[in-house]
Amino acid sequence: MAGAHETLSCTRCGTWASHTQHPHRTPHWSEDIGFQAPAPQESPDHTEPASLAVENPLSLRHAEFTTSAAGVTYYLGTSSNWSFTRRVLNLTQSQVCNSPAPPQALISDDDPNLLPELPTLYHAIFLINTVQFNCCQLFHLFDRAEFMEPCHQFYANPTHDIASAGLWYIHFCLVIALGKAFQSRRHGSKLPFGQEFLLSVFRQFPNTGALIQQPLLSVEILCCAVLCLQCIDHRYYAHSMIGEALRISLFQGWHTEMPPLELGDRYVERCRRAWWTVYILDREFTSLMGLPLTIQDDDVNCPLPKFDGQMQRMATLEMQVKLCRNIADINKRLYGGGGNLHRKYLSRAKDILGNIADVAEELRTAFPLSRRKSWT
């Protein structure tokens, strides 16, 4: 053998080094490494075999692919942990059963079986009520009766197929994610609250062709997704989604005065709630992004919803709509025209400020704050 190799440990930095010792030389040691006894010399007649008859079965000579149950073909890359697990599964299956692993055992990013850990029924109801308390006074995110009935059915059958739940499961995950965001108070975490539900949702989020099949439910889902995306500072995607919800609403004619006698009071009421939610979110995000208005107020003839006689909710929505229209006036009348100041700039600014002051007066009238005497 030409030489012997020794592994040396550094006493200062703890690193490892390799030292080659020649047969007829005394090894020279530095003070940093220290002295170690040389390894025993191997016989010159000893020869190492040219090649061993051992082969790594997980090292691929050729590219390997696998196909899921849905017919999607995936490449099993050599540096992928997911593909390594799949190859181990294939190897074990072939050695034990003399057959390849079934495609049902293949789990990919778009597989609906990649589910987050769902809360219990009572915890889910608590999170749903949290969203309703914090958001649904102004925004319409779900219809309580239409949403809770499939929720109880889902939890009544633990083996329920997620694929058969359809859009409701996506809606459910978004509401749960919002509920967790309102309830969680962890500090120092860089991950968004309820992020496991958001990941599950956006893996399965349908395209426009699937959304248009159930427009009312789809608009409610899009509004939930917009609020979730805004919470994690994804404004671009949030603005794109609220634009999609607006186009679906316009296509359905919700911006018009829908006849309750022909379509039904409950359906029209739900459409009006959904429309004004989309309207408010669109105006807010349009102003936030500094973009032109998507729809003009002259084209909107939809009355405000009645909210089953809840006067405070009606007053809240009415004031919010007025604020949105003031925002539109500011963007159009004050900042329009390439930034040039018009002759009527001051008078227009005065009118808009007067309108905002009127809304503030309505706020004090609708929600009076009584001054309580301090306890001594």
The string of pLDDT tens digits covering residues 64-87 is: 677 766 666 666 655 455 566 777
Residue 15 lies in a domain: no
232 and 345 fall within a common domain: no
Containing domain of residue 259, as a range? 121-292
Residue 272 lies in a domain: yes
Domain boundary among 292, 313, 334: 292
194 and 247 fall within a common domain: yes
141 and 256 fall within a common domain: yes
155 and 272 fall within a common domain: yes
Window from 55-59, 64-68, 172-176 with minimum mean pLDDT: 55-59
Q: What is the mean pLDDT of residues 240-261?
A: 94
**pLDDT above 50 (res 7):** no
Residue 375 lies in a domain: no
Residue 354 lies in a domain: yes
Distance CA 185, CA 199 (A): 20
**What is the per-residue pLDDT for 161?**
66
282 and 337 fall within a common domain: no
User: What does the angle CA 242 – CA 111 – CA 107 come to, to the nearest 5 degrees?
Assistant: 150
Residue 57 lies in a domain: no
Q: What is the mean pLDDT of residues 258-277?
A: 94
Which range scores top for mean pLDDT: 4-13, 58-67, 195-204? 195-204
Q: Which residues pair with 20 in a beta bridge?
A: 5
Number of domains into which the chain is organized: 3
Region of residue 342 (phi > 0: left; psi between -120 and 50: alpha; otherwise: beta): beta
Q: Which of these, 68, 86, 67, 89, lies nearest to 77 by C-alpha position?
A: 86
Residue 269 lies in a domain: yes
98 and 167 fall within a common domain: no
**What is the per-residue pLDDT for 226?**
94
Q: How confident is the model at residue 222 (pLDDT cuts 50, 70, 90)?
A: very high
**What is the per-residue pLDDT for 333?**
72
Distance CA 284, CA 303 (A): 20
Residue 132 lies in a domain: yes
Q: What is the mean pLDDT of residues 6-27?
A: 43
Q: Which residues pair with 67 in a beta bridge?
A: 73
168 and 225 fall within a common domain: yes
User: Which residue, chain included where needed, has tokens 């609020």?
Assistant: 227
Domain boundary among 292, 320, 338: 292
151 and 91 fall within a common domain: no
Sign of CA dihedral 55, 59, 61, 66: positive
**pLDDT above 90 (res 258):** yes
Q: Which of these, 240, 153, 167, lies nearest to 201 by C-alpha position?
A: 167
150 and 194 fall within a common domain: yes
**pLDDT above 50 (res 112):** no
**pLDDT above 70 (res 365):** yes
Domain boundary among 233, 263, 292: 292
155 and 279 fall within a common domain: yes
Window from 116-130, 222-236, 287-301, 341-355 with minimum mean pLDDT: 341-355
Q: How confident is the model at residue 255 (pLDDT cuts 50, 70, 90)?
A: very high
262 and 179 fall within a common domain: yes
Distance CA 147, CA 168 (A): 8
C-alpha gyration radius of the chain: 33
Q: How far is CA 196 from CA 80, 117, 177, 226, in A?
A: 22, 8, 8, 17
**pLDDT above 80 (res 240):** yes
Residue 238 lies in a domain: yes
142 and 170 fall within a common domain: yes
pTM attached to this predicted model = 0.65
